[in-house]
Amino acid sequence: MTKLLQYCWIILLFYIPTIANAAQTIVVDSNHIDTIYRWHIHKDTLYLDSLPQTISSDQFLLDMLAQQSKELYQQDSLLRDSLLASLIYRDSILRIELSYIQDSIRLLSQTRPINTVKEDSTTQLKVAIDSVTQEINRLRNSNPEIDIQSSIVPDMNEDLSEIAYQLKSRNNPWKKEANTLIQFSQNYISPNWYKGGSSNFAILAQAKGFINYKKDNFLWENTGEWRIGIATVNGDTLRKHNITDDLFRLYSKVGYQVVKKLYISASMEFQTNFWNSWNTNSTTVKTAFLTPIRYNINVGVDYQPIKNLSIMFAPATYKMVYSLYHEGNSEQVNVTNYGIEKGKQILNEIGSSIRVKWGWKPFREIALDTEFYFYTNYRRVEIDWQINFDFFITRFLSARLMLHPRFDNTVIYTGDERAKLQFKELLSVGFSHKFR
- In angstroms, the CA 174 to CA 212 distance is 6
Q: Please, which residues have CB within 8 angstroms of residue 57's CB and are 6 or more apart in sequence?
A: 6, 9, 10, 12, 13
**Which pLDDT value is given to residue 15?**
46
**Which pLDDT value is given to residue 42?**
41
Report if residue 161 sits inside a domain. Answer: no
Check whether residue 121 and residue 185 sit in a common domain: no
Domain boundary residue among 126, 156, 186?
156
**Which pLDDT value is given to residue 120?**
54
- 361 — phi, psi (to 5°)? -135, 85
- In angstroms, the CA 337 to CA 329 distance is 16
Domain boundary residue among 103, 121, 156?
156
In single-letter form, the type of residue at position 180 comes to T
pLDDT digits (tens, 9 = 90+) for 356-389: 999 999 888 899 999 999 999 999 999 999 999 9
Report if residue 167 sits inside a domain. Answer: no
The 10 Å Cβ neighbour count of residue 403 is 15
Check whether residue 140 and residue 191 sit in a common domain: no
Q: Please, which residues have CB within 8 angstroms of residue 94's CB and are 6 or more apart in sequence?
A: none
Check whether residue 225 and residue 351 sit in a common domain: yes
Check whether residue 61 and residue 179 sit in a common domain: no
Check whether residue 137 and residue 187 sit in a common domain: no
- In angstroms, the CA 391 to CA 308 distance is 19
Check whether residue 149 and residue 211 sit in a common domain: no
Residues in the chain with pLDDT values less than 50: 12-55, 76-98, 100-102, 105-115, 117-118
Check whether residue 192 and residue 133 sit in a common domain: no
Beta bridge partners of 402: 388, 426
**Which pLDDT value is given to residue 152?**
78
Check whether residue 143 and residue 212 sit in a common domain: no
Check whether residue 146 and residue 188 sit in a common domain: no
Report if residue 127 sits inside a domain. Answer: yes
- In angstroms, the CA 319 to CA 349 distance is 5
Check whether residue 191 and residue 246 sit in a common domain: yes
**Which pLDDT value is given to residue 342?**
83
Report if residue 258 sits inside a domain. Answer: yes
Report if residue 164 sits inside a domain. Answer: no
Check whether residue 332 and residue 400 sit in a common domain: yes
In single-letter form, the type of residue at position 111 comes to T
- Tally the domains of the chain: 2
Check whether residue 119 and residue 225 sit in a common domain: no
Domain boundary residue among 95, 127, 156?
156
Report if residue 165 sits inside a domain. Answer: no
Report if residue 186 sits inside a domain. Answer: yes
Q: Read off the CATH number of the domain in which 177 is found.
A: 2.40.230
**Which pLDDT value is given to residue 143?**
64
* Beta carbons of 145 and 168 less than 8 angstroms apart: no
**Which pLDDT value is given to residue 70?**
56
Range of the domain at 31: 2-156
Total number of residues shown for the chain: 436
* Beta carbons of 167 and 145 less than 8 angstroms apart: yes
